[in-house]
Structure 1
């Protein structure tokens, strides 16, 4: 006899869960097929590069001749179909990797141009649009321009064509995921169109992709279609919840060398960088990434479907194409938003006894409420939720490591928010 985890759910909610299970079954099967495709590619690369126990031995000091580090960077470059990669625990976050890449490609007087509208809060501080913190691009004389999206959240290609005539533009950036914006994340189909457009209008610029939350969410990546440099986080998709810190850059060999010099020092470039005890996690995390990302995608499909059943406005909808592990739900009021976020925390394996309280966090303009009962601090491949306390009071849910945890936690969050007084 199999006992049911739903036994003490309100009958109405239990019925909704049953309805959702039937509704999304075919979509979950599609995700499983995608996982198999991506897993096959990763496995083939581990076999091609003859990964062995000796590759997991860490280096110290300068990190010279770190065989395991060099091999995992070859594997990343091969998977993303680029010349080279920089996969380093020295990056403190995806934002750090993005800033390193952008500063390495831009010089005083150059212009950074975002095709996909104003970037999210932490990148705004890097650029100097917000916060006015020392060392930002504005302070270094690097200019910024963007073409805001059309009302339908599509790229304004007509205006972008005109804006790109500015010859000071040296780097064109595309942000795949939505950040704290109200637009959908950009699918690979749309990114391919953007890449083709940029290359037609300005073949001389470097195209940079902020790919955070996106790896393994589809069967293709932006670098397959000519992006010159791309960044991602190791404690998001590519690390599978195993890697405890770091980020990566993949791209053209000369650009990766420049980024290595920016991360370290000119001369040493990417030849330095000890791996300490990180290599085993980085290898295993990348191997597990297709599966873990698939679990997160399935969890977010369930989340969208159940919240739609509750009459909530969600994006993307359960049957929409997905290109990252982020699910949004709009509450229209701060109280249920904070309550739902708190329930995510309460049904987490770590710090379940903590009540999230909105607060001002470095890098964000508004107060933010965050729930992250994760084993790795800030790991958004583990189930988490956060959002700025500003209209329309939208919560951004990401992760998690297992579909089972997502299903339990989201269902209980719905119960606590909508069925309990």
Structure 2
């Protein structure tokens, strides 16, 4: 089939056939999780009595926007949260995390990162980059962190750091670090250790890339708040923008006042004409996430057979949609990204180039031929152009097309190697 549409070398097709056979048992596990989450999603929609009128949206101030408020309830129900803000007003995952941090932290409080330095774009939010544009540090919030040890939490250090902290911060996914995504079991253990040391600590989880990869979410294992983006898993490839904050009702309420304005909170903010896309994207999210997980598993096995080191192993439990591929050189990293771009439905003719991206400490190359700009649930690949030149691949709206994209990435590497010989 692939040969009919793309001129894939026979050697790569042989590796593809082996990868597909090896991944079949893992795909079956993903499909079982998908089906469970999809039925759970249907139950949330029916329990919340979603109706056509809820997708109409409002303008202006948005007071009494029934569609907006019902979407919040659906999101809370399907994630097992007391309450949620599921809104297009969030501009990105980083914005949603920023609202959550500023929502619950006050001057004199301590933010403690239990899983090492957070993702690059939060450096300015916390005040780690020396900028002067309203960081937590400028508002008098202190920051401490403890690194992971060989990819595992340091529970003794977490207990010590949590004793004096207002927020114990957990990043579920790997970001640009070569470590595994955290399992729900590990998140639960961190939460238990932190709360034993300090019963009042707020356990906050950056849940980006992790939604619907398992049958439950971090709030089920002790997290007080979890935060993510709607142009990743939870938007199903349909939401054009947005993010969410979900968890304890009192904390979500505080975040609502930071999202809009103190005193008006979650009552303000019109749904405009995007509510249908948010509802539909959320409904499709379990299935689309499953396609992305299959893509991730396949990429791990295919590139392992090709000769690259990949993580996680294709048989490992998946707690996010990301596969990292150690390409070994800047040229190979750029070739992988160029191949993924060539296998994208949008801008396939474009060749990505490294560039200085705001919020990152080195040049970054990004391949993302997506329907929604920056969407990480669509097949994309990126990485900082620095040793060990790791490509971080994520997403895939459907596995068949994503498989072709991965083979085109390998073909680009083959062409680059041939040119060097």
Into which bin does the TM-score normalised by the smaller protein fall?
Answer: over 0.9
Matches for 1:134-145 after TM superposition, within 5 Å: 134-145=133-144
Gap change, CA 1:129 and 1:3, over 3 Å in 2: closer
**1:108 shift after superposition:** 1.2
The answer to whether the Cα contact below 8 Å between 1:172 and 1:207 also exists between their aligned partners in 2 is yes
Gap change, CA 1:211 and 1:5, over 3 Å in 2: farther
Q: Does 1:126 align with 2:96?
A: no
Distance in 1 between residues matched to 2:30 and 2:15, nearest whole Å = 22
Which position in structure 1 is the counterpart of 2:106? Answer: 107
TM norm structure 2:
0.97
**1:131 shift after superposition:** 5.3
Q: Deviations over 1:94-124 (max 9, x none)?
A: 1000000001111111110011011110011
Correspondent of 1:300 among 296, 311, 319 = 296
Tell me the C-alpha RMSD between the 2 structures.
1.3
Q: Deviations over 1:297-343 (max 9, x none)?
A: 00111111100001101011111110011110011211110111111
**1:21 shift after superposition:** 1.2
**1:218 shift after superposition:** 0.8
Q: Does 1:252 align with 2:251?
A: no
Matches for 1:344-355 after TM superposition, within 5 Å: 344-355=340-351
Distance in 1 between residues matched to 2:13 and 2:252, nearest whole Å = 51
The answer to whether the Cα contact below 8 Å between 1:6 and 1:14 also exists between their aligned partners in 2 is no
The answer to whether the Cα contact below 8 Å between 1:328 and 1:396 also exists between their aligned partners in 2 is yes
The answer to whether the Cα contact below 8 Å between 2:2 and 2:404 also exists between their aligned partners in 1 is no
Distance in 2 between residues matched to 1:345 and 1:117, nearest whole Å = 31
Which position in structure 2 is the counterpart of 1:317? Answer: 313
Unpaired runs of 5+ residues, structure 1, are none
Moved segments of 4+, more than 3 Å: 2-8
The answer to whether the Cα contact below 8 Å between 2:185 and 2:221 also exists between their aligned partners in 1 is no
Gap change, CA 1:24 and 1:170, over 3 Å in 2: same
Distance in 1 between residues matched to 2:124 and 2:182, nearest whole Å = 23
Gap change, CA 1:3 and 1:91, over 3 Å in 2: closer
The answer to whether the Cα contact below 8 Å between 1:121 and 1:363 also exists between their aligned partners in 2 is yes
Distance in 1 between residues matched to 2:259 and 2:98, nearest whole Å = 10
Which position in structure 1 is the counterpart of 2:236? Answer: 240
Q: Deviations over 1:343-367 (max 9, x none)?
A: 1111111111211111111111111
Q: Does 1:391 align with 2:390?
A: no
Correspondent of 2:322 among 308, 320, 326 = 326
Distance in 2 between residues matched to 1:70 and 1:6, nearest whole Å = 46
Which position in structure 2 is the counterpart of 1:227? Answer: 223
Distance in 1 between residues matched to 2:144 and 2:127, nearest whole Å = 12
**1:4 shift after superposition:** 5.1
Unpaired runs of 5+ residues, structure 2, are none
Distance in 1 between residues matched to 2:235 and 2:42, nearest whole Å = 15
Which position in structure 1 is the counterpart of 2:43? Answer: 44
The answer to whether the Cα contact below 8 Å between 1:175 and 1:211 also exists between their aligned partners in 2 is yes
Which position in structure 2 is the counterpart of 1:160? Answer: 158
The answer to whether the Cα contact below 8 Å between 2:213 and 2:320 also exists between their aligned partners in 1 is yes
Q: Deviations over 1:197-217 (max 9, x none)?
A: 112111111111100010001
Distance in 2 between residues matched to 1:3 and 1:390, nearest whole Å = 33
Distance in 2 between residues matched to 1:402 and 1:242, nearest whole Å = 13
Aligned length: 417
Distance in 1 between residues matched to 2:46 and 2:234, nearest whole Å = 18
SS at match of 1:200: helix
Gap change, CA 1:161 and 1:35, over 3 Å in 2: same
TM norm structure 1:
0.97
The answer to whether the Cα contact below 8 Å between 1:214 and 1:324 also exists between their aligned partners in 2 is yes
The answer to whether the Cα contact below 8 Å between 1:84 and 1:256 also exists between their aligned partners in 2 is yes
Distance in 1 between residues matched to 2:47 and 2:71, nearest whole Å = 12
Distance in 1 between residues matched to 2:47 and 2:81, nearest whole Å = 16
Distance in 1 between residues matched to 2:85 and 2:8, nearest whole Å = 48
Q: Does 1:362 align with 2:361?
A: no
SS at match of 2:166: strand
Distance in 2 between residues matched to 1:397 and 1:27, nearest whole Å = 18
SS at match of 2:81: coil
